[in-house]
Amino acid sequence: MRLLVFFSILLTSCAYMVSAQLPSDAQLDSMIVAHRTTRVTITGDPGVQVNIQQQRHAFPFGTAISRKAFNGDMAASDVEKYLDTLETYFNAGVVENAMKWKNIEPEKDQYSFTNADKIADWCAEKNIELRGHTVFWGRLENNWGVPAWQETVGDAELRTRIREHARVVIQRYKDQFLEWDLLNEPVHWKWYENQLGQGIHGDMFRWAHAEHPEAKLYVNDFDIVNGSSDYVDYVNLIKGWLADGVPVHGIGAQGHFFRTADASDVWNALEALKELELPIKITEFDAGGRELRQAKQLEAVYRTAFAHPSIVGITAWGFWDGRHWRDGGGWWASDWQPKQASQRYKNLVFGEWWTDTTITLDSEGNGVVHCFQGKYDITVNGTVHKEEFPMGTTDAQLSFASTEVSPQLLHPGRGAIPRKADRVFTTNGRACRNRTLQYLPAHITLDPDGQKRVHDLR
């Protein structure tokens, strides 16, 4: 009987792990177009050339940011190169170590935010979207996550201090951080839970949410997209929280690959996590090995994740071998020579997934182009127009005609918008400044006559 029960459980688990079929390369590319580009319809004078140059991605391609670049522990020449590389190739970041509890309160009641403040201020100046990492981490080993002084306090005091820590940290960066890795690695490290009971993790989210209701609070863990079965426990953990009303708003899957990164494993885990109906981010990607192997693994993970509709960001856990947590994990060597992984990354993010083109409007003054979502300079007759297609924008209509354009073409039922470049955007619930928006799910667009059309994006 026990053997039958065990066999039944094993079959159920195995079936669960192989349930999602990886799309073909062609299907992945089609999904990228469907989920990451905006179909832009342009009207204007017949024969006019329209130059479309992307300036910035809307999708967050991020990196962990080392405090060493801000605290004097890095050579000045390396600091300059580090920050220039960061600003050039990444539009998002996460604080690598400077905000972990052991680093901002190493001794009881002695807070130090200097390094975290410097990183936050620099990112704000450079318009780099920054995530907070991490408010709570129950890893006692080497006191990586749990400050040593917490081992000596009683349970009642520990609970009070957890709540106070949420207040102090969240309030301090309320105007700078709209997203946090609130709890790190709860599937694997449970010191706070062991001390205070299972409910403490949910309370962490509730207390942080009360301090800043607009902030998006993520849970973050490892061995989720690399072929391990741990993602099953992760799904069940989050599912239980959601059933209990815990305000968890997003899912972080770290992506540290020590074996070969298998796109099938990545897709399978993402499909399982998708059922929770929360946004997902690859939060800590890295891969080692020889250069070519590392570059291939980068492309496998990035292409698979970028194609998945639930993914809302990809973050590398560092980019330079001179400041990386694992040997050879960076995309630039210690002497700043680019490795194959850096070129593969640039080929994808600033090549294949980047829009820089010129179209000529047809005899009726119409043109259509798919633009990767982001910020653009669009040049018509020598005039540069600043345009933006936010994430989730499926369709946009722009008019650069020298004569008045049909109101119905631009916005059925509302009339023309008196601007140099009239606009109508169809977006998946995301507002943007100075635009007339129609909020529709990603699989619904509008025909020129205003009728909704449903598309199968899969």
Closest of 290, 286, 302 to residue 344, by C-alpha: 302
How many Cα atoms occupy the beta-carbon half-sphere of 136 within 13 Å? 33
Amino acid 49 reads Q
> Taking a C-beta distance cutoff of 8 angstroms, is the pair 375, 20 a contact?
no
Instruction: Give the active site residues.
Output: 185, 284
User: How far is residue 77's CA from residue 80's CA, in Å, rounded to a whole number?
Assistant: 5
What does DSSP say about strands 179-184 and 129-137: parallel, antiparallel, or unpaired?
A: parallel
Tell me the torsion sign for CA atoms 243, 244, 247, 253: negative
Torsion of CA 365, 371, 377, 382, to 10 degrees: -20
What does DSSP say about strands 393-399 and 422-427: parallel, antiparallel, or unpaired?
A: antiparallel
Q: How many residues appear in the chain?
A: 458
Walk across the sheet containing 366-372 and list its strands.
Answer: 366-372, 37-43, 393-399, 422-427, 437-439
Closest of 99, 83, 78 to residue 335, by C-alpha: 78
Q: Which residues contact 234 (CB under 8 A, 6 or more apart)?
A: 187, 221, 224, 251, 273
Q: Is 354 left (phi over 0), alpha (psi -120 to 50) or beta?
A: beta
* CA angle 244–310–101, rounded 5-degree value: 60
Tell me the torsion sign for CA atoms 340, 346, 349, 355: negative
